[in-house]
Structure 1
């Protein structure tokens, strides 16, 4: 019994700084890493949500852009940070669920990172160049089947979510189209406009201005519901391919081992920030739908997304570096 009380006392001494830190969290600035360069959708979402978090927490939320390797480098920096809640990230679907299946990365998402909340989803839109003689999903599939291996689709890079969305399209529609990778959305859209490539699945915000101007033709949106900014475009399910769901998303994570009380505090602050009408309005123009869920639900979501895209990679025979 004496030994037991000695162990309890020792444990209390070890935990007291952690518990004290959790009770008054946050009492200094929080570093919010964005694993992409400034100006992109990940950065915009983080800055809008982070600003409101700062106001609610009454502490600065400092954005730090650490781009590289499709979000992997910045995400790894969080995985290696002290688990005290003062270094977190809003990372992407690619870095959290796709890259670990495609290449060797220094972290294991579920082992080295603590989910806080799913922040936002951004649907992928299937579009075609205006010279493509297809105005809906059935016409596009028929065209591809009539010309196997002749049509191509653009992506933002090898191993990107946009490539896997195209690969999923190939699998679900049973068509043979050729992948053409680009370095980002801008050059992919430019070649779509120039009719150098025939189609692409890309983030809605990158396509919306060109769709509204009639320079690209929207076929379907890879989300469960139509987008408020493009209500005229059917979902992939409405277009006849219910299994073709592809959404980019961004989620808040901390280093593994962050105390549950601090994780709960971060979740509360972030969720309240995302419920703010002004925050929702600012991000609606980016095609982003704010979510806000529990750490447990976000962890399950990460697991499901990892399994889904790993299966697509396998079934489509996508080359990997692992």
Structure 2
């Protein structure tokens, strides 16, 4: 800069702004300050709009539709429970919560969709018994069950119920056991897919009762129950929600519950253990997961909404009619429960050499 050039003039020229007319020595620079304040404000106003688009959005969760993937065909117990949950959570979250049925491969197809979804809380999984046992039945799962998911909350615990067609010759579970022992491999049991509670409950029954009833897997409860009604399979160890309507209408006959104690929903129905298979217990459950990496604040919001939903009148009705045990709690409570179930069934699968068909 030339020695005789005024620094103020250069400053204004570099910014593309012409400084105001000057007096001697700018009155000791006093007249500069209002102009600099104006320049600073004008410059910021010009720059901020250019920066703003790159700043992250801070929209409150949720601000769009939330999807819960059900890895079973429509019409089964998991589907029924999920649709009621979705309706109640939608009221609390202020956004639609929809159900997307993705059946197949013993729940692996639907589960894998969620495992590979964005961890933003908009794609969730309704998991069940199979989620805990699939790692022990499938050596090459397309996801790591322990690492791919973040627990949201346990919805309910339940049990299965052994049911036959009302035209069946079997009036009690003892009748079924006697016939199956005398005719190994002749009877079939339907399940909701490999690794589901309907599958493992029946396999555990085979092992402890000394029977050989052949497994026929389906893509969910609805097709399995449809074939039971049609006489294509002879027994299903079904979730209660999938068959309670058919039991009520008289088209299916319940033989026993798989829980350790009798059910409040079916107080006159014996347990499998009471029916001649001592030590038999098999529980079912429903719970929600998000993809791993979902922000903690989103998980907490979902957990609060889930806990509110399962304590609604709609779920209290399910508790009474379907025999569900509603279990509000934290994501940590849910994780601990599933880890316990996984450890128990890992030992069962190994000791009884249960394999997929």
State TM-score, norm by structure 2.
Answer: 0.71
- What's the counterpart of residue 168 of structure 1? 204
**Corresponding position of 1:243:** 279
Q: Does 1:126 align with 2:162?
A: yes
Structure 2: distance between partners of 1:214 and 1:27:
44
Residues 128 and 114 of structure 1: CA distance in aligned 2, closer, same or farther (over 3 Å): same
The one of 288, 293, 297 equivalent to 1:257 is 293
Residue 73 (1) aligns with residue 138 (2):
no
Superposed, which structure 2 residues align to 1:272-311 within 5 Å?
272-281=308-317, 285=321, 288-311=324-347
Moved over 6 A (4+): none
Asked if the contact 1:30–1:87 (Cα under 8 Å) also holds between the matched residues in 2, the reply is no
1:102 alignment counterpart: 137
Return 163-172 or 254-263, whichever deviates more: 254-263
Deviation of the 1:267 alpha carbon: 1.4
- Give aligned pairs, total: 300
> What displacement does 1:202 show?
1.4
Q: Which runs of 5+ in 1 are unaligned?
A: 1-16
Q: Distance in 2 between matches of 1:139 and 1:263?
A: 48
Q: CA deviation at 1:34?
A: 1.8
Corresponding position of 1:113: 149
Q: 171, 180, 190: which one pairs with 1:144?
A: 180
2:64 to 16, 29, 38: 29
Deviation readout 1:238-267 (Å, 9 max, x if unpaired):
435453333332211112223334323321
For 2:354 and 2:189, locate their aligned partners in 1 and report how far apart those are by CA, in whole Å. Answer: 15
SS in 2 for 1:107: coil
Instruction: Give the corresponding residue for 1:319.
Output: 355
Partner of 1:7: none
**RMSD across aligned positions (CA):** 3.2
Residues 218/114 of structure 1: CA separation in 2 closer, same or farther (3 Å cut): same
**CA-to-aligned-CA distance 1:31-50 (integer Å, 9 cap, x gap):** 23223454443333223222
Higher relative contact order (CA 8 A, sep 6+): 1
Native 8 Å contact 1:129 1:197 kept in 2: no
- Taking the TM superposition and a 5 Å limit, the aligned residue runs for 1:174-193 are 174-193=210-229
Of 46, 49, 62, 2:97 maps to 62
Q: 1:112 to 1:193 in 2, by over 3 A?
A: closer
Confirm or deny: 8 A CA contact 1:35 1:73 kept in the other structure.
no
Distance 2:96 2:129 in 1: 22
How far 1:283 sits from its partner (Å)? 6.7
Task: Please say if 1:268 is aligned against 2:334.
Answer: no
Q: Is the 8 A contact 2:103 2:220 kept in 1?
A: no
Tell me the distance in 1 between the aligned counterparts of 2:76 and 2:165.
Answer: 24
What's the TM-score, normalizing by structure 1?
0.77
The question of whether the paired residues in 2 share the 8 Å contact of 1:35 and 1:72 is answered with: no
The whole-number CA distance in structure 2 between the counterparts of 1:320 and 1:151 is 18
Distance in 1, matches of 2:293 and 2:232, equals 49
Check the 8 A contact 2:158/2:325 in 1, yes or no.
Answer: yes
Assess, with a 3 A threshold, how the Cα gap between structure 1 residues 195 and 52 changes in structure 2: closer, same or farther: closer
